[in-house]
């Protein structure tokens, strides 16, 4: 086995920032807004680095797709312990329309090219909440998938994954190579400290274009309009059950 793990990291608007819809309703304002690494991607990077520290794998490669700015996100992954980075250059209209389908095609192509043993992704991104990229990547590669992982253990050429599901916890054993997506309780990501950020400047980030990987970035989805959620209407207090029934009848609810 190559002992190489591919980790996908996404640059998203920071979770504490108040989102604003663009005046033309084509999307949200991103210019100058604070961005950071998707929290689930941080967990994915941490898991990969932990595996390397336990000497179960040899190399961690951080991948991000997007314009020039995603290099900061890759540098953060390098500062957390990834060995090298791959920046897949996507900008302009292609970037605005980029979704899980395009990213999973890119990840699949890179996983084959890098002969990855494991692909670890965050379970979903906090900006689109799609929760699709990991699953699509596995399908394109025809690899097994261990999603919503709260525990990952390498056992020879198999991986034991404890998954967080609606009913509780499910433990599965899958063959490698495989795709794993990280859930919240998998680990607590370490800080990217300053000495590591400085060291990360010396680590390599390769630049690739989607065309080099044979990936077609055309989107099958067209965003027609983006709107804020409707304003919450004020409620009404009633004194008695009769009042409540009366008001519900008035509103045509019963």
Partner 1 sequence: TNESALCRMQTCIRALKTVPADHAAPQLYTVVHRRTCSSVTTPRITTHYTIHPRDKDPRWEGVEMERFADEADVVIVGGGPAGLSAAIRLKQLANEQEKELRVCLVEKASQIGAHTLSGACLEPSALIELFPDWKERGAPLHTPVTEDVFSILTEKYRIPVPMLPGLPMNNHGNYIVRLGNFVRWLGEQAEELGVELYPGYAAAEVLFHEDGSVKGIATNDVGIAKDGSPKDVFERGMELHAKVTMFGEGCHGHLAKQLYKQFNLRENCEPQTYAIGLKEVWTIDEKKWRPGRVEHSVGWPLNRNTYGGSFLYHLNEGEPLVALGFVVGLDYTNPYLSPFREFQRWKHHPFVAPTLEGGNRIAYGARALNEGGIQSIPKLTFPGGMLIGCSPGFMNVPKIKGTHTAMKSGMLAAESAFAKITDENLNSETTGLHVPEYAENLKKSWIWKELHAVRNIRPSFHNYFGLYGGMVYTGIFYWVLRGKEPWTLKHCGLDSAQLKPAKDCTPIEYPKPDGKISFDLLSSVALSGTNHEGDQPAHLTLKDDSVPVARNLAIYDGPEQRFCPAGVYEYVPLETGEGMRLQINAQNCVHCKTCDIKDPSQNINWVVPEGSGGPAYNGM
What distance in Å separates the CA atoms of residue 96 and residue 27, rounded to the nearest whole number?
Answer: 9
Question: Which residues in 176-217 belong to E strands, given as ranges?
Answer: 178-182, 205-208
* Nearest approach, Cβ of residue 35 and partner 1 (Å): 8
Contact region with partner 1 (CB under 8 A), list: 15-23, 114-122, 173-181, 244-252: 15-23
Residue number with CB closer to partner 1 (197 or 213) = 197
Task: Round to the nearest angstrom and report the end-to-end CA distance of the chain.
Answer: 64
Residue number with CB closer to partner 1 (14 or 212) = 14
Judged by CB under 8 A, which of 7, 11, 36, 47 binds partner 1?
36
* Nearest approach, Cβ of residue 11 and partner 1 (Å): 12
Residue 23's nearest CA partner among 171, 204, 227 is 227
Residue number with CB closer to partner 1 (37 or 119) = 37
Contact region with partner 1 (CB under 8 A), list: 14-22, 127-135, 136-144, 154-162: 14-22
Residue with tokens 């989102």: 19
33 binds partner 1 (CB under 8 A): yes
Residue number with CB closer to partner 1 (191 or 224) = 191
Residue number with CB closer to partner 1 (23 or 214) = 23
34 binds partner 1 (CB under 8 A): yes
Angle between helices 100-113 and 133-141 (to 10 degrees): 50
Q: Exposed (0-12), middle (13-18) or buried (19+): which is 92, by Cβ within 10 Å?
A: exposed
Kindly report the number of other CB atoms within 10 A of residue 173's CB atom.
12
Residue number with CB closer to partner 1 (8 or 189) = 189
Residue number with CB closer to partner 1 (172 or 197) = 197
20 binds partner 1 (CB under 8 A): yes
Residue 119 per-residue DSSP state: E
Alpha carbon of 24 to those of 27, 30, 221, 225, 250: distances in Å?
8, 14, 19, 9, 38
User: For partner 1, how many residues bind (rule: CB under 8 A)?
Assistant: 21
16 binds partner 1 (CB under 8 A): yes
* Nearest approach, Cβ of residue 46 and partner 1 (Å): 10
23 binds partner 1 (CB under 8 A): yes
Q: In what order do the strands lie in the sheet with 118-122?
A: 168-175, 158-165, 145-155, 178-182, 118-122, 4-8, 59-66, 84-89, 205-208
- What residues from 183 to 242 belong to the interface with partner 1 (CB under 8 A)? 188-191, 193-195, 197-198
Q: Are 195 and 75 in contact (CB under 8 A)?
A: no
14 binds partner 1 (CB under 8 A): yes
Binding site for partner 1 (CB under 8 A): 14-18, 20, 23, 31-34, 36, 188-191, 193-195, 197-198
């Amino acid at each position: 086995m190559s002992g190489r793990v591919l980790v996908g990291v996404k640059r998203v608007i920071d979770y504490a920032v108040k989102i604003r819809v663009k005046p033309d309703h084509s999307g949200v304002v991103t210019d100058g807004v604070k961005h950071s690494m998707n929290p689930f991607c941080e967990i994915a990077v941490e898991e990969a680095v932990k595996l390397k520290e336990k000497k179960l794998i040899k190399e961690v490669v951080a991948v991000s797709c997007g314009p020039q700015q995603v290099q900061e996100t890759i540098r953060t992954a390098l500062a957390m312990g990834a060995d090298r980075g791959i920046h897949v250059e996507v900008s302009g209209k292609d970037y605005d329309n980029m979704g899980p389908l395009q990213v999973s095609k890119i990840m699949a192509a890179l996983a084959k090219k890098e002969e990855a043993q494991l692909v670890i992704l965050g379970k979903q991104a906090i900006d689109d909440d799609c929760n699709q990229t990991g699953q699509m990547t596995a399908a394109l590669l025809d690899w097994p998938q261990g999603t919503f992982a709260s525990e990952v253990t390498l056992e020879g050429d198999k991986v034991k994954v404890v998954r967080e599901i609606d009913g509780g916890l499910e433990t599965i054993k899958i063959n490698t190579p495989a795709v794993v997506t990280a859930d919240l309780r998998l680990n607590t990501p370490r800080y990217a400290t300053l000495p590591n950020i400085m060291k990360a400047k010396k680590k390599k980030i390769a630049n690739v274009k989607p065309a080099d990987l044979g990936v077609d970035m055309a989107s099958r989805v067209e965003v027609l309009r983006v709107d804020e959620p409707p304003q919450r209407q004020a409620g009404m207090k009633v004194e008695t059950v009769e009042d409540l029934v009366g008001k519900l009848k008035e509103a045509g609810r019963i």
